[in-house]
Chain A
C-alpha cells in the first residue's frame, strides 16, 4: 500500500465531515470514497483507515472496495493526469500509438507519475466520445482525434 503519511488535523476533520454528510452509512462507502478522493487527490491507507472507523466497517472492506474499482487510486496522480482512452473505437483508430508517444515523451509507464509530479499516465475504457476517436483527456479537458504527432503540442500546453 501507499507510503505512510500523516493527515493534517484540518484535513482529518474534513474527512470526518464527508462521512457525516452521508450519515456515516456504510452503504454510502463508494460516495464517501469519491468525495474523499476529490479532496485528497488519492486514497492513501491512512484515509481508508479513518473512513473504515467512521463508517464502522473493517479496513479490509474499505481496501477491498478501493482496489476493486479503477476510478480509485492509492497513489497520487500528477498535477495534470493524462488518460488515454483504449476503448474499441479509439483502439482501431490508433490509440495505442498515441499512448506509446506519451510514454516516450514523459519517460514513464502507465500508472506512473513524472518525477516532478506534473504528469501521470493512465488508460481508460471509453469516455463515450467515440466519434472523436482517438481521445485523450488531460484533467477534465478532452482532446479528440489525437495523432501521435500531436502529443508534443498537448504536452507543451502544460509545460509553459
Chain B
C-alpha cells in the first residue's frame, strides 16, 4: 500500500501502542497536552489555539471546533458537559471504532482538554452498542486514567476536576444528530429538536453542552503540543489537517486511510486503494453515507475537502468511501439509501417521514420498469422540498443520494424509464439473459448449472433460455466460457 501519500494524526497511535496500557500512551507524549493546557496555556489561549488551527468537526458537518468551544465557554451555568459522539452510524464508516479500539486515551485526554477549556467537569461518551470491543477498551482506559489521577479531582495539582461516563446507543441512526443524541442520553426517544437553542446553550439536562466527534477529539492533543501553525500548514485552504477515510466496496485495498485534506479522489482510489477490484471499470464513489452523494470519473481530480465535496453535490460526512464499479446500478444505489432513510427516519417531521417514503416508492417504480418521465420531475421537486423543510440534518440531507445520482447518472435513469433496461443488470425486473446462437458451442454447461432448468438444447447445438421459467439468477452468464450469453 502506498503510504507516502498518507499522514497519520488522528490514527497516530492506532496499531502502534497497546490500547489497554496507559503507559504506552504516556510514552508517546500522552496526557502532556492536557498538562500543557492546565499548567501553561489556560482556557483563553487554548480556545484561541484551537480556533487558529482551523480544525473543523470530523463528524460530517465541518463546524469549526474552536468556535464551538468558545460559544460553550461563554455560556455560564453551574454545570456544563462535554460529549463525545461515538454513534458512528453511517453504513460504510468505521474510523471512530478504530480510534476508540486502538487509541482510547487520546479521546479521553481531548475530552478533558475540552472540559478545562469550556468549564465543564463532566464528560459523556455516547457509544453504539454495536461496538462491544470499543466499549471494553474505553472502560479500561477510563479506569486507568482515574488510577493515574488524569481523571478525577485536582488533575495535575490544579483545581480542575473532570470525569467521564459512558452512555450506550441502542441502534438509531438519527442519534448521530446532536440534539437527538442528547435526548437519547437522557433516556428518551432519540428525536431531534429545532436549533436554536444549540446544545452549547441548552443541551444535556438543559445545561450547556459541547458535542464533538471521536475523530475530532483524536486530533486535539497533537494540535495542542505541536501548535496551531503546524496543523494549519497541513491540508487545503479552508479544510486543515487530515481526514480518516474508510475505503470499502469494489476496491482492492479496503480499510482505513488518513490523508491530508486536499488529496484528490484519484490518489485515494488508485494510489492508496490500489484501484478497482478484478480490473473492472470505476463508476462512482459514494461519500458521506446516506447524507452524501455519488461522485464520478469527472470528480476524480477534485481535491477532497469539506467545501469541494459539497460543491460536487456530496459531502464529507464522517468519512465512509464506498467504491462502485460498472456492475452497480446507480438507481438501485439511490433506492438502497432511501430505504435506509425511510427505516431510520424518527418520524417526528412530515417531510422526512412521508417525503422519503414517497421518494423510495418512485425509485422502486423506476427499478421495476414502471417509471415515467413525470416521475423524474417528481423526484427532483420532492427532493428539493424535503431538503428545505425537514427538521434535522438527517432529513435535510436524505435526498442527496437521489439528487447526485440524477445529476451524474441521468442516462441510467432514462434507460430504466424509456428502454426498460438496467445496464448493470441489477434490477431484476428489467434483465433478460439471452444466448447468442452464433457464439454458443452447445457445451451444455449453462443448461447443467441452471437451477430451474430453463435452458434447453441438444449437445453441440445452440441453446435457448425459456424467459418464462428463467429466474434471472445469472448463473449461466457466469458459467459460459464462450461469452455467448448476454444480459439485455
Which single member of A90, A91, A128 contacts B130 (CB below 8 Å)? A128
Chain B, range 166-186, C-beta contacts under 8 Å to A:
167-173, 184-186
Distance A141 CA – B188 CA, assembled complex (angstroms): 30
Q: Least Cβ distance of A103 to chain B in Å?
A: 15
Question: Is B156 positioned at the interface, with any CB of A under 8 Å from its CB?
Answer: no
Question: Is B322 positioned at the interface, with any CB of A under 8 Å from its CB?
Answer: yes
A27 near B91 with CB under 8 A, answer: no
In the assembled complex, which residues on chain B have CB atoms less than 8 Å from the CB atom of A125? 89, 91, 173, 340, 344
Distance A143 CA – B328 CA, assembled complex (angstroms): 24
In the assembled complex, which residues on chain A have CB atoms less than 8 Å from the CB atom of B340? 125
A69 near B170 with CB under 8 A, answer: yes
B172 near A88 with CB under 8 A, answer: no
Q: How many A-B residue pairs have CB under 8 A?
A: 111
Which single member of B90, B248, B346 contacts A68 (CB below 8 Å)? B346
For the complex, count residues of A whose C-beta is within 8 A of B: 33
Q: Least Cβ distance of B292 to chain A in Å?
A: 10
Distance A91 CA – B324 CA, assembled complex (angstroms): 11
Encoded as 1 (CB less than 8 Å from any B CB) or 0, chain A from 27 to 44 comes to 111110110000000000
Distance A72 CA – B254 CA, assembled complex (angstroms): 32
Chain A, range 115-160, C-beta contacts under 8 Å to B:
124-131, 133, 140
B171 near A69 with CB under 8 A, answer: yes
Which single member of A27, A28, A30, A140 contacts B170 (CB below 8 Å)? A30
In the assembled complex, which residues on chain A have CB atoms less than 8 Å from the CB atom of B92? 87-89, 126, 130
Which single member of B170, B249, B328 contacts A89 (CB below 8 Å)? B249
In the assembled complex, which residues on chain A have CB atoms less than 8 Å from the CB atom of B171? 69-72, 124
Encoded as 1 (CB less than 8 Å from any B CB) or 0, chain A from 77 to 93 comes to 00000000011111111
A131 near B254 with CB under 8 A, answer: yes
Question: Is B190 positioned at the interface, with any CB of A under 8 Å from its CB?
Answer: yes
In the assembled complex, which residues on chain B have CB atoms less than 8 Å from the CB atom of A133? 248-249, 254
Residue in B closest to A129 when the chains form the complex, CB atoms: B94
Distance A33 CA – B184 CA, assembled complex (angstroms): 13
In the assembled complex, which residues on chain A have CB atoms less than 8 Å from the CB atom of B132? 140
In the assembled complex, which residues on chain B have CB atoms less than 8 Å from the CB atom of A2? none
A30 near B91 with CB under 8 A, answer: no
Question: Is A64 positioned at the interface, with any CB of B under 8 Å from its CB?
Answer: yes
Question: Is A26 positioned at the interface, with any CB of B under 8 Å from its CB?
Answer: yes
B249 near A88 with CB under 8 A, answer: yes
- Interface residues of chain A, those whose CB is within 8 Å of chain B, are 26-31, 33-34, 64-65, 68-72, 86-93, 124-131, 133, 140
A-B CB proximity, top 5 nearest: A87-B91, A128-B94, A69-B170, A89-B248, A29-B187
What would be 23 A-B contacts, judged by CB atoms less than 8 Å apart? Answer: A31-B168, A65-B188, A69-B169, A70-B170, A70-B172, A72-B170, A88-B92, A88-B320, A88-B337, A89-B249, A91-B336, A92-B249, A92-B250, A92-B328, A93-B250, A126-B90, A126-B130, A128-B94, A130-B93, A130-B94, A131-B255, A133-B249, A140-B132
Contacts A92-B333, A130-B92, A130-B320 known; 18 new A-B pairs at CB < 8 A: A27-B205, A68-B190, A69-B169, A71-B171, A88-B249, A88-B286, A88-B337, A89-B248, A89-B249, A89-B320, A92-B249, A125-B344, A128-B97, A130-B94, A130-B322, A131-B248, A133-B254, A140-B132
